[in-house]
Amino acid sequence: MSGTGQTVAAIFPGQGAQSVGMLGELASAHASIIERFAEASEVLGFDLWAMVQQGPGEVLGQTENTQPALLVASVCLWDLWQEAGSKVSCMSGHSLGEYSALVCAGAMSFTDGVRLVRKRGELMQAAVPNGQGSMAAVLGLDDEAIAQCCDEVDGEVSAANFNAPGQVVIAGESDAVLAAIDACKAAGAKRAVPLDVSGPFHSQLMRRAADDFADALDSIHVSMPTIPVYQNVHGGVAESVDALKHLLVEQLYSPVRWKTCVQALLDNGVGQFVECGPGNVLAGLVKRISRATPTLSLASEDGIAAANVL
How far is residue 87's CA from residue 170's CA, in Å, rounded to a whole number? 36
pLDDT in tens, 66-95: 999 999 999 999 999 998 887 899 999 999
Among 74, 95, 100, 134, the active-site one is 95
User: Looking at the structure, do residues 215 and 122 belong to the same domain, yes or no?
Assistant: yes
User: Looking at the structure, do residues 122 and 34 belong to the same domain, yes or no?
Assistant: yes
CATH classification of the domain holding 292? 3.40.366.10
pLDDT at residue 257 in the model:
98
Residue 195 sits at the vertex; the CA angle it makes with 175 and 26, to the nearest 5 degrees, is 155
User: Looking at the structure, do residues 142 and 262 belong to the same domain, yes or no?
Assistant: no
Q: How many domains does the structure of the chain reveal?
A: 2
Cβ-based neighbours of 133, under 8 Å, separated by 6 or more: 171, 172, 173, 174, 177, 199, 200, 203, 205
User: Looking at the structure, do residues 102 and 240 belong to the same domain, yes or no?
Assistant: yes
Give yes or no: 30 in active site: no
- β-bridge partners, 236: none
pLDDT at residue 87 in the model:
87
pLDDT in tens, 145-198: 999 999 999 999 999 999 999 999 999 999 999 999 999 999 999 999 999 888
- β-bridge partners, 9: 90, 273
How far is residue 275's CA from residue 281's CA, in Å, rounded to a whole number? 9
pTM of this prediction exceeds 0.85: yes
* Domain presence at residue 155: yes
User: Looking at the structure, do residues 290 and 215 belong to the same domain, yes or no?
Assistant: yes
pLDDT in tens, 9-43: 999 999 999 999 999 999 999 999 999 999 999 99
CATH classification of the domain holding 161? 3.30.70.250
Give yes or no: 221 in active site: no
Averaged pLDDT for residues 210-225: 98
Q: What's 291's DSSP letter?
A: T
Residue 4 has pLDDT above 80, yes or no: no
Residue 310 has pLDDT above 90, yes or no: no
* Domain presence at residue 1: no
User: Looking at the structure, do residues 113 and 212 belong to the same domain, yes or no?
Assistant: yes
Among 74, 86, 92, 202, the active-site one is 202
pLDDT in tens, 94-137: 999 999 999 999 999 999 999 999 999 999 999 998 889 999 99
pLDDT at residue 1 in the model:
53
* Domain presence at residue 93: yes
Burial 296-307 (b: 16+ CB within 10 A, else e): bbbbeeebbeeb
